[in-house]
Structure formats: structure tokens, C-alpha cells
Amino acid sequence: MASASPSSHLNKAVRQSYMMLSQAGKCQVTYVWIDGTGEGLRSKIRTMDTEPESIEDIPEWNFDGSSTWQAEGSNSDMYLIPVRMFRDPFTLDPNKLVLCEVLKYNRLPAESNHRDSCNKVMEKVKEHCIWFGMEQEYTLFGIDGHPFSWPPSGYPSPQGPYYCSVGANNAYGRDIVECHYKACLYAGVKICGTNAEVMPSQWEFQVGPCGGIEMGDQLWVARFLLHRVCEDFGVVASLDPKPVMGNWNGAGCHTNVSTKQMREEGGLKHIDQAIVKLSKNHREHILVYDPHEGKDNVRRLTGLHETSSIKDFSSGVADRSASIRIPREVGQNGRGYFEDRRPAANCDPYLVTRAIAQTCLLDPEVQ
Ligand code: ADP
Ligand code: MN
Ligand code: MN
Ligand code: MN
């Protein structure tokens, strides 16, 4: 494939002979963090003498924030605070991946660290046992910036056959999807499904349900694994919410939400109450549903291609052109969860889940 990266063509059999070497009792720990763009992920590795049993066993670390758009060169040391540990699906047991929060020189959260404020809201709403499930859509590209497996000039045939498809003419890049799924399961990421999307070379995976702060942690690590698997195959996963303009679907990150009350008998009443609150805070939510205050999502939320308009709030049972959809079986059972369809594929899940918890559970009662 001409558009795959040179690194992906390196001799993998040679690599494998090194991967089989013993580690002499040591453990490799890969620290993962969100960079100053609020979208990019970075990582670096250190050796530990013994395998960490839990997150408490993993020490703080640091990095050069002036190289990640997170600090000035004159005061560039940033702290890495381990928050959640996973198994490493690339170099295997006993090695670990550890997601970190980033603190500045003064130990306050970096501007791109929204986990800290999200966690504070989740602590406040603890008694509601809020669960989230997020549907991460993404699009595969060659390193030449051309959609993966699209004809070199012109377009594939129009949308219709690609969603949940099978066959070489319809499903582009399934190797990546399958390898990412396995990598998530091995790592301990709560991936719960995957499907091919409406636009060719566009796919989705779902993570959840996750309680409170865990949603953001799990989704960020699932994204790290996606980018890392794609690197092996020499292609790029884009989270741009409208990667191809025109008559092609965009990419979102639908966020499914329930509280204990919503999941219990008569829960629909609580879902309706949450939707009323969300309707009064539409603009505030749009501002945090992509990293650029709605400027990315405005290309996607047009009211076409299974989206609502960015300007208007709407809701409905089984309605995929609404801002908020109540799944049909939830309407029928009278309890369950709702789906916020507005977040963009490149959203920060900490900001999305924080906004939802804040609006639905902490803002004063709507009259
Ligand atoms: P869709 O029909 O919108 O494509 P998916 O099957 O792709 O739905 O995704 C459903 C999502 O809903 C999953 O992420 C799942 O974890 C989440 N989910 C299921 N039940 C609940 C619940 N009670 N609370 C919150 N999220 C839930
Ligand atoms: Mn879905
Ligand atoms: Mn989808
Ligand atoms: Mn959905």
C-alpha cells in the first residue's frame, strides 16, 4: 500500500525475535498523557524493578512541557501523576500502560488537564451512581492524508452499503478494528462493541458502561491503543468530526448516560427531567463538546447525516436526528438511559461527562 508509513514496512519477523527476549525480571511502564492540544496523546517508558500491583506502586514522573505545548521552556518541567493502570498489549505482561494526569510546576492542573475538575464533579454526584458509555467514531487515513483505501482520485460509490458491512468492496481496514478490539480487551479497557460506519473507512467502537470519572480514563486509553495499532499498520486514525466535506457522514462520540434512578422502575421520569435541564444549557454544552468551542462540531452538526443542528436543541424516542435520543427499548421499558448525540469525535470525554453530570445533577432545579 503506497500510502502506508515506512515504519510499518520494517521487518516484523526481526522485531519478533527481540520481543521474545526475557526482561530479566524488570517491568516496562509506559506513561501516557494528554498534550497541550487537548487532543494529542504522548507517552514515554521507564523500567521498574518489580511489577506494580496497583496504581499506588507507580511513582510520579515528569516530562518537558515545552515540547508538548504545555509550558514555556524556562519553566518546563511538568508532573505526571499516575491515575489508572492497564496491561500493555504490545509488549505484554508484566508490562503496564499507565494513564497520567498532568500538573504544572506549581502542582496545579495543566490547562489541558480536565480530569481534575471532572473528578471533583463526579465526587459531588457520587450518590447518583452515574454511568456513561461512549461511542467513538473515527476515520482511517493514509499517511498521505487521503482517506484509507479510497480511489486515488474521485470518490467511492455513495454511502449506503458501508455501515456494518462485510466484503472487500465495502469494509476498509478491518484488520485495524480487530487488532484494536483485542488490544483493548487484553489491556483491561472496557470496550463493549464495534461496527463499520456509514462512510467508507469510518468505524466506531464503544466503551462502557463506566462509572463517573472512569469513562474519561477508559476512553483516552482506548484512543491511545487505537493510534498505536494504526501506527503498526502504517495508517492514521483521525478523530476529525467532519473529515470529508460533502455528502459523507461526520464522526461523533455519542455519550450514553444513566443514573441509578433512571435505571430503576419509573426511570423515564428522571430521564425526562434531565433532558429538560439539558435543553436549557444547549449552548454551554456545545462549547465543550469539541476542543474548539463548537468550531469543529459546526461542520458536523448540520441537521443532515443523522445529526441535529448545532443551533437547536431537540430530543425524541428513537430519533437519530435529535440532540438527545431515548433508545426505543428504553421508551418501551420506561427506564434505562439516554444518548447525547452532540459530542464530536475529538471531544475530551472528561469535559463531556463533567458537563452532563453538572447540568443534570448539580444545577438548581428547573422551575
Ligand atoms: P447506538 O444504537 O447509538 O449505535 P451503541 O450500541 O453503539 O448504540 O452504543 C451503546 C452505548 O450505550 C455503549 O457505549 C454502552 O456502554 C452504553 N450503555 C448501555 N447501557 C447503558 C446505561 N445503562 N448507562 C449508560 N450507558 C449505557
Ligand atoms: Mn453506535
Ligand atoms: Mn455511530
Ligand atoms: Mn449512537
| Sequence-ordered strand ranges (E) for 227-327 | 236-238, 253-258, 315-317, 324-326
Among all ligands shown, which has an atom nearest to the Cα of 134? 1
Are 84 and 158 found together in one domain? Answer: no
Structure-block grid coordinates of residue 31: 506513561
Which amino acid would we find at residue 242?
A: K
Check: CB of residue 28 under 8 Å from CB of residue 91: yes
Give pLDDT, residue 10. 95
Instruction: Give the pLDDT band of residue 128 (cuts 50, 70, 90).
Output: very high
Residue 11 burial (CB < 10 Å; 0-12/13-18/19+)? exposed
Examine the domain organization and report whether 26 and 131 are in the same domain: no
**At 277, is the secondary structure helix, strand, or coil?**
helix
**13 and 151, same domain (yes or no):** no
Cell numbers 483521525 correspond to: 238
Which whole number is the average pLDDT over 252-258?
Answer: 98
The CA 143 to ligand 1 mean position distance, Å, reads 32
Residue 347 in this model has a pLDDT that exceeds 50: yes
The preferred substitution site among 202, 256, 339 for testing ligand 1, maximizing ligand atoms within 8 Å of CB, is 256
Do 146 and 276 lie in a common domain?
A: yes
Taking 60 as the threshold, does the pLDDT of residue 1 lie above it? Answer: no
What integer is the mean pLDDT of 144-148? 96
Whether residue 135 sits in one domain with residue 43: no
Phi, psi of 286 (to 5 degrees): -55, -35
Nearest ligand to the CA atom of 254 = 4
pTM of whole model > 0.85?
yes
CATH number, residue 27 = 3.10.20.70
Question: Is beta strand 338-340 parallel, antiparallel or unpaired with respect to 253-258?
Answer: antiparallel
Q: How far apart are the first and last CA of the chain?
A: 60
pLDDT at 71 (0 to 100): 84
Find the helix or strand (DSSP H, E) in which 139 lies.
Answer: strand 131-141
Q: Is the peptide bond before 209 cis (omega within 30 degrees of 0)?
A: yes
Q: What's the domain range around 88?
A: 6-112
State if residue 40 touches ligand 1 by the CB under 6 angstroms criterion: no
Identify the three-state secondary structure at position 141: strand
Answer whether 91's CB lies under 8 Å from 105's CB.
Answer: no
Q: Closest Cα to atom 17, ligand 1: which residue?
A: 133
Q: Are residues 67 and 130 in the same domain?
A: no
Q: What Rg do the C-alpha atoms of the chain give, in angstroms? A: 21
Q: From ligand 1's centre to the CA of 336, what distance in Å?
A: 10
In this prediction, residue 363 carries a pLDDT of: 79
In sign, the C-alpha dihedral spanning 191, 133, 205, 232 is negative
Q: What is the rounded average pLDDT of the residues 233-251?
A: 97
Report residue 297 as a C-alpha cell: 462540531
343 lines ligand 1 (CB under 6 A): no
Check pocket membership of 193 for ligand 1, CB cut-off 6 A.
Answer: yes
Residue 3: pLDDT band with limits 50, 70, 90 = confident
Q: Assess if residue 125 is contained within a domain.
A: yes
Q: What is the pLDDT of residue 2?
A: 56
Q: Please check whether residue 260 lies inside any domain of the structure.
A: yes
Q: Among 112, 132, 157, where does a domain finish?
A: 112
In a domain, 228, yes or no: yes
| Tally of CA atoms within 13 A in the half-sphere of 74 that contains its CB | 0
Same domain, 160 and 207: yes
Beta partners for 42?
33
Q: Within a domain: residue 322?
A: yes
Rounded Cα–Cα distance for residues 268 and 156 (Å): 42
pLDDT one-digit tens code per residue, 193-207 = 999 999 999 999 999
Residues with Cβ < 8 Å from 188, sequence gap 6 or more?
86, 87
**Centroid of ligand 3 to alpha carbon of 131 (angstroms):** 19
Mean pLDDT of the chain: 96
3-state helix, strand, coil in the chain (%, to 5): 30, 25, 45
Q: Which of 98, 59, 105, 60 is nearest to 78 (CA)?
A: 105
The answer to whether position 170 is within a domain reads yes
Pairing of strands 315-317, 324-326: parallel
Ligand 1 atom index nearest CA of 134: 14
High-pLDDT (> 70) share of the chain, %: 98
Number of structural domains the chain divides into: 2
Q: Is 14 part of a structural domain of the chain? A: yes
Using CA positions, which residue lies closest to atom 15 of ligand 1?
Answer: 133
- Structural domain ending residue among the three candidates 112, 134, 157: 112
Domain contains 18 = yes
Whether 135 and 82 map to the same domain: the answer is: no
Residue type, 70: Q
Burial class (CB in 10 A: 0-12, 13-18, 19+), 135: buried
In whole angstroms, what is the distance from residue 18 CA to residue 258 CA? Answer: 47
Q: Are residues 95 and 132 in the same domain?
A: no
Is 172 found in the same domain as 92? no
Domain end among 69, 87, 112: 112
CATH classification at residue 269: 3.30.590.10
CB 339 less than 6 A from any atom of ligand 1: yes
Q: Is residue 1 part of a domain?
A: no
Q: What's the chain's length in residues?
A: 367
* ∠ CA 229-254-140, rounded to 5°: 30
Asked whether residue 163 falls in the same domain as residue 275, the answer is yes
Same domain, 73 and 165: no
Ligand 3 centroid distance, CA of 322 (Å):
14
Q: What would the grid cell of residue 249 be?
A: 457522514
